[in-house]
Structure 1
Amino acid sequence: MLPDDAATVTSADPAPAPAVDPVGYARLYGEPLMRMPTDLYIPPDALEIFLEAFEGPLDLLLYLIRKQNFNILDIPMAQVTLQYLKYVDQIRVHNLELAAEYLLMAAMLIEIKSRMLLPSRKSDVEDDAGDPRAELVRRLLEYEQIKLAAYDLNTIPQLERDFIRPAIFIEQSLTASWPDVEPADLQAAWLDVLKRAKLTQHHKISRQELSVREHMSSILRQLQSARFVEFADLFDVAGGVPIVVVNFVALLELAKETLIEITQAEPFAPIYVRLAYSPA
């Protein structure tokens, strides 16, 4: 028979298991993963994203220079060309069409490197004393300026990308609200009415009875008070065209009846009218 102390030890509860940390490597359907899965499948094209990270040969070349803090005005062509060619080899394996543009830049880098390795002769110094890297440096600096400008433009907030234009429904009041009329609005309305009124015109045609005999008598009275009267003085221009026409017809009738004489001293001289001469 066991002592009481031994019975107490035997009937005691088992020791609790250590607490499991709920934070794992990841969560799958809300459940934490406590260990890395061994059956992951990585598609072979997954790494092609890295090949398209650069926008062109200049972008890759600028990245290699800035990443290693090289002086862009004094590029170590051997080291940069070697790193560039390693990247081009990766592109040729995965995407041959994309590698064509990069191969052109690689050929240019190799040419610059070769020209720097060749010993310079006196004739070469006289013909071309410039640095073979000068044209490449110029293109890199221009590309970097354009890239920074594009980055600054991209930071400007854009509609539908960084913000949206809200549409708020405002319930209008049932009471009609009339806008206030300013003096300038009233003036503009009056000028518009006046403009339309000028476009509408009415022509009134009236009939006027004129007597040729009365004008003949009037001409004879004028000639009795003067020996000669100039032709233009016999017409009342202020009376209008109808009066002038009838007056001219009356003058012709008087000349036809030989009651007046129309004379002229010489060609282009003033024309005068007088009463016809009658012997005593």
Structure 2
Amino acid sequence: MQDTTPDVIDGVALARLYGEPLFNLPQDLYIPPEALEVFLETFEGPLDLLLYLIRKQNFNVLDIPMAELTQQYLSYVDQIRTRNLELAAEYLLMAAMLIEIKSRMLLPVVRNDPDPEPEDPRAELVRRLLEYERIKIASRKLDELPQLGRDFHIAQALAQLDAEERLPEVGALDLRDAWVGILKRAKLNAHHHISREELSVRDHMSQILRRLQGTRFLEFTELFMERVRAGAGPAVIVVHFIAMLELARESLLEITQAEPYAPIYVRLAYTSSQPALE
């Protein structure tokens, strides 16, 4: 019987010689039979063994030669039966499945079958093999990723440092910046004397009415520019404007404009017989 056991299977030792792993069969070294133990259970299961046999001989997984594959598989099962009967039981179940598939392929095709294309007896086996291969490739890629404790370790170091407080050195520039800060804070304490100016809206209303007496129209800006040219401050101008709005509210003054963006004019809304406010 031909020995189809591979020398090296996925980087796993083929045997151990007095506890040491053996990856290749020695060529010029005599090994006592009791010192050499062959690991026939290096495969992870029946599917793993079938996939190995198919890939090693470059079989097309979609068109598996069942006769040759079954013969090689049974040769391996015969070897492990003598060593580990419990392990062989799982492989014997797959062997029965292979023999069944091989027998079904030898049966003639029934022509009166309504299905024009009968199902290939190998279809279920092919599906399981392809699915197992995808899972095996994915697990190998995951195993190649760096793992803590296997490929690298987390470095830890304990440092005992004695810290001594060091006071900063004060220079001329530090003194200058501190002095500038004190001056800025001192300026915030400056006192401002606010004088109160007595302004009367009623008085400015009378001034506007007197200004418009005898004038048909007066431009809006001119009504205030007279005060500006006289040296009036913002407070006087504001009160003057409020007085004009109060006259317009009491319908004593009209504010008109000929068209959009045209100059604004003011005029009296009452007749010349009406007296001005005092």
Q: TM-score range by the shorter chain?
A: 0.3 to 0.5
Structure 2 length normalisation: TM-score?
0.47
Structure 1 length normalisation: TM-score?
0.46
The structure that is helix-richer by fraction is 1
| Greater RCO, CA 8 A, separation 6+ | 2
